Amino acid sequence: MCYNVDMNTYIATFFMHFGSIRFERLCKSKGLEARTMPVPRSLSSSCGTCVKYRAEEPLFDPAHDEMEQMVICNDDGSYTQIYKAKNL
């Protein structure tokens, strides 16, 4: 059991826009602070949409496979990848 109450900031990117909307809804249904926005340029050259959210642990949506990648936002502004879609 993890008692760490430190919140992390995650960014999940999606292949298509609606994946982001659906994921944002999932985050909000779990009471997490979440926002859909364009993918930061430094993260990807593709122009998809992403969801930035704050949580203790990364959130995954097992019902849908629209997620392209998930990163954790480090304090220094860099990203650490924690998930990448297969065959990407």
Partner 1 sequence: MEKKNDKLFIIIAGLIIGIIAAGLAFLGNPKNMGFCIACFLRDTAGALGLHKAPPVQYIRPEIIGIVIGAFVAAFAKKEFGSKGGSAPMTRFVLGFFAMVGCLMFLGCPFRMILRLAGGDLNAVLGLVGFVIGIFCGIFFLKNGYSLKRTYSLTAGEGYWMPILEVVIFVLLIARPAFIAFSEEGPGSMHAAVILSLAAGLIVGVLAQRTRLCMVGGMRDLVLFKETRLLWGFIAILVAALVTNLVLGGFKLGFTEQPIAHTDGLWNCLGMLLVGFACVLLGGCPLRQLVMSGEGNADSAVTVLGLMVGAAFCHNFGLASSGEGPTPAGKIAVIIGIVVVALIGVVNTYVKASAAEEAA
- Report the interface residues with partner 1, using CB under 8 A: 15-19, 21, 36-38, 40-42, 45-49, 63, 65-66, 68, 77, 85, 87-88
Cβ neighbors of 28 (< 8 A, separation 6 or more) are 34
Cβ closest to partner 1, residue 38 vs residue 56: 38
Q: Where are the beta strands (DSSP E) in 1-88?
A: 8-14, 33-38, 49-55, 67-73, 79-84
**Shortest reach from residue 51's CB to partner 1, in Å:** 11
**Shortest reach from residue 15's CB to partner 1, in Å:** 4
